[in-house]
Amino acid sequence: MMSIDRRTFLGTAGALALSGRLAGSAPASERLRLAVIGVRGRGADLAREFAKRPDTEVVALCDVDDASFTKIAPDVEKIAGKAPRIEKDFRKLLDDKGIDAVVNATPDHWHALVAVMACQAGKDVYTEKPASHNVVEGRRMVEAARKYKRVVQMGVQRRSMPHVIEATKYVREGGIGKVGMARAWILQKRPAIGPGKPAEVPPGVDYAMWQGPAPDRPFMSNRFHYNWHWFWNWGTGELGNNGIHGLDVARWGLGVDAPLTVCSGGGRFVFDDREVPDTQVVTYEFPKACLVWEHRLYDKHPMEGFGFGIAFYGDQGVLVVDEKGWKVDGGSNASGKATAGLEAHLANFVDCVKSRDLPNADIEIGHLSTRLCHLGNISHKVGRKLTFDAATESFPGDAEANALLSREYSSRFEMPSLV
């Protein structure tokens, strides 16, 4: 596996950016040529959705596992009438001047680096949530998007759902009075994944590339596809997996950016086959309100009537919003019906690539919401309440917590300090 030192990385990326398309507006009739990186699960869904659109063309699929192409490549060909290009190394796609944008559906530990390198290569980016694997990476994504004038949309599609837009606006405009607290949660039953043991890497898998910037760990089938979410080396736990959706809407409705303090409680109380907590309650204190996240991964008992949702508690009513719509208990008893979001979110991305406007879930928004996830996980890891300084994105005088704002990287790839 080739290693890239920081000087080579920046020099190559800078040359790509200079030789790529300028950041001007694209013709309204032009179909955007997209490459989808990571095509299992969510990536495959995004590839199909973009392939269906008349204003986009999925010209390439990229994954480190040959088996991932088995179903999605024929699906894209059937939808579009043309077979997509297949690659295992995403850097070859960044070198292709005929590709306008990349869709980044890699595991969490790859999100930031793929996005930064794509921006440096002159590509716009649709990146899946959470924005990054750690706080420093997220800030680098914002810096890269601004420096290279790239459109970077994060996949928190509720930002484009009309009923969620309506609900958060209702809260911000005083519909339930003065709001002292918001809560977001997910309660669901996830299966056990077993203890796992080191095994041979499956044929057709480039495991070194899959690990990428993450330090080497032996291959285990129970922490590879999807189950990487539950191990810190690659994932961000349920807080980064689904918490990002709830926390993003809650932060949006409250109209807040950075918390003053964060405190996480919980642990691995039911599952002993993973590193991340199966039970977690995180409290974020802001100047005029608090925000609470809660998840249980072994229990579907609903909260406020829902397994997933966001609630805003005001002195004139309580507003709850989820996939089924929104409603207010008390006060005005206002409500709104559910509306679809993914199609609108993808359309917003495409429109902004052409207009060069900021998208609904611009990477700055994505970073600020993802930052809440990281802060909650850092509090969990150190086992205590933390005070956060938004100006420096750090914990004043707390070396132990500050060390977790970034990560140890492998010899293969490293996030540059300057993008």
Identify whether 207 is part of a domain.
no
User: For each of the chain's 419 residues, which pLDDT tens digit applies?
Assistant: 333 333 333 333 333 333 333 345 444 458 999 999 999 999 999 999 999 999 999 999 999 999 999 999 999 999 999 999 999 999 999 999 999 999 999 999 999 999 999 999 999 999 999 999 999 999 999 999 999 999 999 999 999 999 999 999 999 999 999 999 999 999 999 999 998 899 999 999 999 999 999 999 999 999 999 999 999 999 999 999 999 999 999 999 999 999 999 999 999 999 999 999 999 999 999 999 999 999 999 999 999 989 999 999 999 999 999 988 999 998 777 899 988 889 999 999 999 999 999 999 999 999 999 999 999 999 999 999 999 999 999 999 999 999 999 999 999 999 999 99
Identify whether 199 is part of a domain.
no
pLDDT digits (tens, 9 = 90+) for 86-145: 999 999 999 999 999 999 999 999 999 999 999 999 999 999 999 999 999 999 999 999
Q: Do 267 and 142 share a structural domain?
A: no
Check residue 330 and give its pLDDT.
85
CATH number at 266 reads 3.30.360.10
* Nearest alpha carbon to residue 152 among 136, 131, 180: 131
CA 366 to chain centre: 7
Query: Which residues touch 241 (CB under 8 Å, ≥6 apart)?
Result: 130, 229, 235
- 109-124 residues labelled b (16+ CB within 10 A) or e (exposed): bbbbbbbbbbbbbbbb
Number of domains in the chain: 2
Identify whether 328 is part of a domain.
yes
Identify whether 210 is part of a domain.
no
Identify whether 212 is part of a domain.
no
Q: Do 303 and 267 share a structural domain?
A: yes
Q: Do 397 and 271 share a structural domain?
A: yes
Identify whether 99 is part of a domain.
yes
Check residue 191 and give its pLDDT.
95
Q: By CB neighbour count within 10 A (0-12 exposed, 13-18 middle, 19+ buried), where does 405 fall?
A: buried
Q: Do 76 and 187 share a structural domain?
A: no
Q: Do 355 and 272 share a structural domain?
A: no
Identify whether 418 is part of a domain.
no
CATH number at 68 reads 3.40.50.720
Q: Do 249 and 120 share a structural domain?
A: no
Check residue 111 and give its pLDDT.
98
Q: Do 178 and 115 share a structural domain?
A: no
State how far the alpha carbon of 216 is from the alpha carbons of 7, 207, 208, in Å. Answer: 23, 10, 8
How much is the pTM? 0.92
Q: Which domain holds residue 16?
A: 6-157+345-362
